[in-house]
Chain A
């Protein structure tokens, strides 16, 4: 390095040298954080779209906001243990914390038959290889990508004056997404059961089971009720009839579901939850879920966690389904926001979940 004569232009160049690298670092940081690309779908945009449909309800989940905590256990029977080395799928019992909920961001919405119901589970084996899931009672998901989910939220959010979705906006979404027609039709004509207890909940997204020798199998699964399925009978006058019913049910007797794992056939779409799978696929009964306890979300064990579908044990992996990635990101963001807020009392209150005298009698 020689000492240059201190010419003015030389010194300007040197100062440029000093700021260029920090400047480009700043640019890359801004780009990486999405601040230079407003068209990129972000976690914030996804949560805004959800909030648009429901308004702001501090402390509540940004989706599936109305719910109740449940507890029990899962007993694996070992039938799926050749496909997945997950400890929860071996023979044996693991404790479970779960949540029943209605889809949508309104924590005080009225129960109604056609509203989507969900079950969320956290299976907790002693080796800490947890399996969390959030599963819905529809046959397929209405959309196949995070962008479509975002756009559907914007198209379907209720109008402030009428309280109903704007049919024109919904129609525009349908015509611009003709490939989602079959999924929406399938959801529209699904059979509806009488309540949470006799409902079937499905993973919709696909996952990979990983065997001891590394073999991967694409699967979906469902929780299929052991309780007999009853047809829906209206309850127009009870705002919380679905929750009241499941509280009464669990206080009277344990509720059970079979974990039915479906193995992907050759023609099945792995990476698109809006596409149903063939009826001929092989199914395995992998174990039984038993729920024996129920309690309000208020300080309940299902409130301070999120049922992130990508909290998976060794032996289960995410598939290439893009919805799964968006869910994991959005659930963490929702969990972060709501945990920093002070919630109002939930619709399903602590008084509602104490056993009624009636249920106590039946149980003993």
Chain B
């Protein structure tokens, strides 16, 4: 076994919780933006709340990342792959923060009330009412969401490449079963 240190437990929890949320948001997003069916209203409401939750978690996560640097990549990883990994991770952070802000901003520019949860709590607008801006941001929201989905696919493939082809401990460093970490030992299932 090659010696790659593991991510800390809070980092791993944030990673997996957000992974599920973001994948769900991408699927809900393209589904609701194409449907005229009976789930529309509820899905859009869910999309808004989960999207804002992702924004909050992403900022927490950014703070956590700056505070506790992640384990370094294996020494023998080719430099192109290292650069690709770092660049895609930065872009993932950017999108996790910018995409929900664009969602919030576009509804502000469109003059829509923006309920956070149920109907009683409204988010304040973060941009002035401007229909041209609304149309532009609505396009940007789609564009960035598709870019995020592409990155997620590449990210999953790269993780599996580390785990199954290179077997260099990088995938294991994010899974919730790292020997060197006594905390995850307890919840270790297999």
Query: B-contacting residues of A (Cβ < 8 Å)?
Result: 1, 3, 11, 14-15, 17-19, 21-22, 25-26, 28-29, 32-34, 40-44, 46, 128-130, 146, 303-306, 308, 310-315, 317-318, 320, 322, 324-326, 328-330, 335-337, 339-340
Q: Which of B33, B41, B120, B134 contacts A325 (CB 8 A)?
A: B41
B136 within 8 A of A: yes
- Check if B165 sits within 8 Å of A14, measured CB to CB: yes
Closest to B39 in A: A325
Flag B89-106 by CB within 8 Å of A: 1 or 0 each: 000000000000000000
B residues in contact with A314, CB < 8 Å: 118-120
User: Is B83 part of the binding interface, using a Cβ–Cβ cutoff of 8 Å?
Assistant: no
> Of B23, B35, B154, which contacts A329 at CB under 8 A?
B35
A-B residue pairs in contact (CB < 8 Å), sample of 11: A1-B1, A17-B160, A18-B164, A22-B160, A25-B153, A42-B34, A146-B36, A312-B119, A326-B40, A336-B135, A336-B138
* Residues 15 to 41 of chain B near chain A (Cβ within 8 Å): 23, 26-28, 30-41
Question: Contact between A339 and B152 (Cβ–Cβ < 8 Å)?
Answer: no
- Central interface residue in A11, A303, A314, by most chain B CB within 10 Å: A314
Contact of B38 among A21, A32, A322 (CB under 8 A): A322
Please determine whether B119 and A33 come into contact, CB atoms closer than 8 angstroms.
no
Q: A43-B34, A322-B37 are in contact. List 4 more A-B contacts (CB 8 A).
A: A14-B164, A18-B157, A33-B30, A305-B129
Contact residues in A for B119 (Cβ distance below 8 Å): 129, 312-315, 317
| Inter-subunit contact A305/B37 (CB<8 Å) | no
Task: Pick the 10 closest A-B CB pairs, nearest first.
Answer: A340-B135, A33-B30, A304-B131, A339-B135, A326-B36, A314-B119, A339-B131, A32-B31, A34-B34, A325-B40
Assess whether B27 is in contact with A28, with CB atoms less than 8 Å apart.
Answer: yes
A-B contact count (CB 8 A): 127
For B151-165 the 0/1 string (1 means CB < 8 A from A) is 011101100110011
| Complex Cα spacing A289 to B129, Å | 25
For the complex, what is the distance from the CA of A310 to the CA of B111, rounded to whole Å?
A: 14
A328 touches B131 (CB 8 A): no
What is the interface of chain B mostly: helix, strand, loop, or mixed? helix
- In-complex Cβ contact of A305 among B1, B111, B139, B160 (8 A): B111
User: Which residues on the B side are within 8 Å of A46 (C-beta)?
Assistant: 36
**Distance A17 CA – B136 CA, assembled complex (angstroms):** 39
Cβ B33 vs Cβ A43 within 8 A: yes
Chain B, interface residues (CB within 8 Å), range = 35 or more
A29 contacts B34, C-beta separation under 8 Å: no
Question: Is the beta-carbon distance between B157 and A22 smaller than 8 angstroms?
Answer: yes
A340 near B165: Cβ-Cβ < 8 Å: no
Residue interface mask B126-154, A partner, CB < 8 A = 1: 00011110111011000000000100111
Q: Does A21 contact B160, Cβ atoms closer than 8 Å?
A: yes
Q: Judging by beta carbons under 8 Å apart, are A29 and B38 in contact? A: no
Is B110 an interface position by the 8 A CB rule? Answer: yes
Question: Is B70 close to A, CB under 8 A?
Answer: no
| A313 vs B110: C-alpha distance when bound (angstroms) | 18
Q: Does B74 have its Cβ within 8 Å of any Cβ on chain A?
A: no
Q: Shortest beta-carbon distance, B21 to chain A, in Å?
A: 15
Q: Nearest chain-B residue to A304 (Cβ)?
A: B131
Contacts of B32 in A (CB 8 A): 329
* Cα A42 to Cα B87 with chains together (Å): 36
Taking the closest CB of chain A, its distance from the CB of B44, in whole angstroms, is 8
**Chain B: which residue is nearest A16 at the CB level?**
B164
Q: Are A325 and B118 in contact (CB under 8 A)?
A: no
Taking a contact as CB atoms closer than 8 A, the residue among B35, B39, B130 that contacts A42 in the complex is: B35
- Interfacial residues of chain B within 31-86, with CB under 8 A of chain A in the complex: 31-41, 44
Q: A43 and B135 in contact (CB under 8 A), knowing A18-B160, A311-B112? A: no
Question: Which residue from chain A places its CB closest to the CB of B125 in the assembled complex?
Answer: A128
B14 contacts partner chain A, Cβ-Cβ < 8 Å = no
Contact check, A335 vs B164: say whether CB atoms are below 8 A apart. Answer: no
Shortest Cβ gap from B88 to chain A (Å): 14
Known: A34-B34, A329-B35, A340-B139. A18 touches B131 (CB 8 A): no
B111 adjacent to A18 (CB under 8 Å): no
A2–chain B nearest beta-carbon distance, Å: 11
* Beta-carbon contact of B34 and A325 below 8 Å: no
Nearest-CB distance from B163 to chain A (Å)?
8
Task: Report B-chain residues with C-beta under 8 Å of the C-beta of A129.
Answer: 113, 119, 122
Minimum distance in angstroms from A13 CB to a CB of chain B: 9
